[in-house]
Structure 1
């Protein structure tokens, strides 16, 4: 099944609004990636009976970036802009 995506006509207010929104979403993804980079991959959640640290994976930052990438990859305006900028790698894991 083919889906036809109705895109705004260049130069119209709807077109400019779409672009502003997409650039904001790209900035948000970049911020999420920067935030994820600062997060520890593992963290101690307590201690076991022997006094050893109980370590757990900190997957939340990676999952949030993954989810945001999946959502943005479905937006044709996002892929168009990142493709024109040569930054498609933002949408890749």
Structure 2
């Protein structure tokens, strides 16, 4: 697994709901890009970063809708393991420093 990029994204479900900024870690694994939402422990993949992020957004929408349908919205936040947060924080710091 190779770290690729740290992103902060918002996901919208029509006009009903918009997420706060979510932490997304993009990694390269084998021949695919994996996108992990560290706030929900939801992941998806694609052939490139754009495809992986679109697939992740769709997965997050389903995750949120399922939580609403099952009255589990109070337990929706499920942070990822610490190793992914460390990777994310390191990448984000590098990205910020490269823009300075």
Tell me which interval the TM-score lies in, with the shorter structure as reference length.
0.3 to 0.5
Give the number of the structure with larger relative contact order, counting CA–CA contacts within 8 Å between residues 6 or more apart. Answer: 2
Bigger proportion of residues as helix? 1
Question: Considering only CA atoms, is the larger Rg found in Structure 1 or Structure 2?
Answer: 1
TM superposition score normalised by structure 1: 0.33
Bigger proportion of residues as strand? 2
TM superposition score normalised by structure 2: 0.32
